[in-house]
Amino acid sequence: MFKQIKEDIRAVFDRDPAARNTLEVVLCYPGLHAIWAHRISHYFYVRDYIVLARLVSHIARFFTGIEIHPGATIGKGFFIDHGMGTVIGETAEIGDNVTVYQGVTLGGTGKEKGKRHPTIGDNVVVATGAKILGSFKVGSDSKIGAGSVVLSEVPPNSTVVGIPGRVVYRYGQKVNQCAEAINPDNLAHNNLPDPVEEMLRCLQQHINRLDEKVQRLEKEKQANS
């Protein structure tokens, strides 16, 4: 238990430059409190003390603004930065060293039974306000941009942005050839491309090339006449 607590505290120091000392982290980080409360509620949940587990999670939600269903499975090094409005569903599975920012939802898409929430791989960053909805996997080492709505599976080492979410970067390569280079810093989720803007830029470039071709053909026609 104490080893797990130390790992949770170390995750805060590793990923939040505002963290200055251990006492501050232990007393003033609601994301950390929500994770600890979840570990307690999950302990009761898997032993079929459902009401007690839900009560613990409900109290944690009241104090932290973060809702984590007791049934969710969370790995080591999980970090919720700020976290207000974050919701994690019952059948969600989260790998190791995952970072989640405020307003994130790991939710379902209907009233179906069984596995209905996403599975998040290791070392994933889910930025502010992103929504990942449905029973599919987000591959390890991926980054979900702020405000994105992800409705389908994400391959490993991908960057996803937009509504609906689209992969714009994979394994160090641009998926869209017109896209500009993306900051490789895994936590720089503010520095992501806009796929709509890039598509319009590509379209404009294509129109410019067509204009140049038409003008060249007109000059050749005038010269021959």
- Number of helices and strands in the chain (H, E): 5, 16
The answer to whether residue 126 is domain-embedded is yes
Q: Is 131 helix (H, G, I), strand (E, B) or coil?
A: strand
| Calpha distance 75→93 (Å, rounded) | 8
Are the CB atoms for 103 and 128 separated by under 8 Å? yes
The answer to whether residue 205 is domain-embedded is no
pLDDT score at 190: 53
pLDDT score at 197: 66
| DSSP secondary structure, 36-78, as one string | HHHHHHHHHHHTT-HHHHHHHHHHHHHHHS-EE-TT-EE-TT-
Are the CB atoms for 109 and 128 separated by under 8 Å? no
CA atoms in the 13 A half-sphere facing the CB of 206 = 8
The answer to whether residue 223 is domain-embedded is no
pLDDT score at 98: 93
Query: Model's pTM, two decimal places?
Result: 0.74
From residue 93, alpha-carbon distances to 27, 79, 140 in Å are 27, 14, 12
Low-confidence ranges of the chain (pLDDT < 70): 172-174, 176-198
Domain count, the chain: 1
pLDDT score at 173: 63
Structural domain that includes position 189: 2-193
The answer to whether residue 208 is domain-embedded is no
CATH number of the domain that residue 135 is part of: 2.160.10.10
The answer to whether residue 115 is domain-embedded is yes
Q: Of 171, 200, 151, which is closest to residue 159 (Cα–Cα)?
A: 171
The answer to whether residue 123 is domain-embedded is yes
pLDDT score at 186: 55
The answer to whether residue 222 is domain-embedded is no
Q: In degrees to the nearest 10, what's the CA dihedral of 147, 152, 156, 158? A: -40
From residue 175, alpha-carbon distances to 59, 103, 150, 159, 165 in Å are 44, 27, 17, 10, 13
- Torsion sign (Cα): 126, 156, 118, 120: negative
| Calpha distance 134→120 (Å, rounded) | 11
The answer to whether residue 187 is domain-embedded is yes
Cβ neighbours around 94 below 10 Å, total: 24
| Calpha distance 100→21 (Å, rounded) | 21
